[in-house]
Amino acid sequence: MFFWFRFDRDLRWRTGVQLLPVHSDSSNNFKITVAAMEEAYNNAAAENIRVKGVLITNPSNPLGTILDRETLIDLVTFVNSKNIHLVCDEIYAATVFTQPDFVSVAEVIDEIECNTALIHIVYSLSKDLGLPGFRVGIVYSYNDAVMNCARKMSSFGLVSTQTQRLVAGLLSDDEFVNRYIFESADRLALRHQQFTSGLAQVGIGCLESNSGLFLWMDLHKMLKDQTFESEMELWRVIVNEVKLNVSPGQSFHSAEPGWFRVCFANMDDEVMEVALRRIRTFVAKSAQADLAAKKRRSWQNKLNKLSFKSRILDDVAMSPGSPMPHSPMLRAQN
């Protein structure tokens, strides 16, 4: 079973395991519900697919939200009732930058009755400490069979001694780690605020979030139709013309078209400003184009034989009065 995120490559492609998304949408802020889990489970059973476990990211990728204690209890209770596994990817645990605080599934299973052998936590230094290249990952499982297997496989993925030395030194320095995590959270909070208010200026909303290195941006009003084809069409325009690489919701198996994941953390302030400006320009341009198209349709009704329709969009985008700034975009493209 599968919620969001691009586990496709890591799991499906490597192992042949099937990943089934659990439905969630904006009506309840993309919360995971027991009803949706039961539905996904029953749908799988109806197709003779044996569900072996639930896989979540907490904080969520791509949502940037944390799972509250109640949802975690629901998840643990659900996997217990089905006797299936719960794999919690807590790789963004220390990116929570505003209240409420992060709750690990490890805390929840201390508080409720549960077969802990069904619970597995994965973690890494790549996000919280910004060290993806160090290739330091952690499996924390309450299951002896999993640990025995991991022990047998571990020597094929050992962390090199020089990396171990550096990481050991770094993690032993409590003061540094604490300062780093706090400073990182402060900067994430600031950047998040800058980005969401920059988007709000042109009427773009985002899912309210308090963690992660990304935003879940709502562009559904810009879709021609409320379909994933239109989402893909919009994505192509954003990549090819706006020159921004945001991820369309469907790549995370979103059930609702029009949402895009925007990474806001892995860039400096100048690049962020360029990106924000591009998005705002694009939205404003689209609004103008919409207006122009409406006018055009109205004119076409009146002047049915005149043929200047295809020039209007170009005119809007390329005119000297266009709000689309050319040079900084080209510069930042490289």
Q: What is the contact surface with a copy of itself in residues (CB under 8 A)?
A: 10, 13-14, 133-136, 152-153, 155-163, 166
Give the residue from 61, 63, 1 showing the smallest Cα distance to 37: 1
Minimal distance, residue 152 CB to a copy of itself, in Å? 5
Minimal distance, residue 198 CB to a copy of itself, in Å? 32
Which residue, 159 or 255, is less far from a copy of itself as judged by CB? 159
Minimal distance, residue 136 CB to a copy of itself, in Å? 8
Contact 196, 206 (CB under 8 A): yes
Alpha helices in 238-268 (DSSP H): none
DSSP labels, 89-102 = E-TTGGG--SSSPP
Which residue, 155 or 310, is less far from a copy of itself as judged by CB? 155
Q: For tokens 């949402």, what's the residue?
A: 259
Q: Is the peptide bond before 100 cis (omega within 30 degrees of 0)?
A: yes
Which residues in the chain belong to E strands, given as ranges?
A: 53-57, 85-89, 119-124, 137-141, 205-206, 214-218, 247-248, 259-263
b/e code 204-230 from CB counts within 10 Å (16+ = b): bebbebbbbbbbbbbbbebbeeeebeb
Determine the Cα–Cα distance for residues 179 and 182; give it in Å rounded to an integer: 5
> Which amino acid type is present at position 112?
I
Which residue, 104 or 163, is less far from a copy of itself as judged by CB? 163
Minimal distance, residue 160 CB to a copy of itself, in Å? 5
Give the residue from 54, 49, 46, 41 showing the smallest Cα distance to 11: 54
Which residues in 187-269 belong to E strands, given as ranges?
A: 205-206, 214-218, 247-248, 259-263
Which residue, 15 or 172, is less far from a copy of itself as judged by CB? 15
Which residue, 9 or 326, is less far from a copy of itself as judged by CB? 9
Determine the Cα–Cα distance for residues 224 and 95; give it in Å rounded to an integer: 35
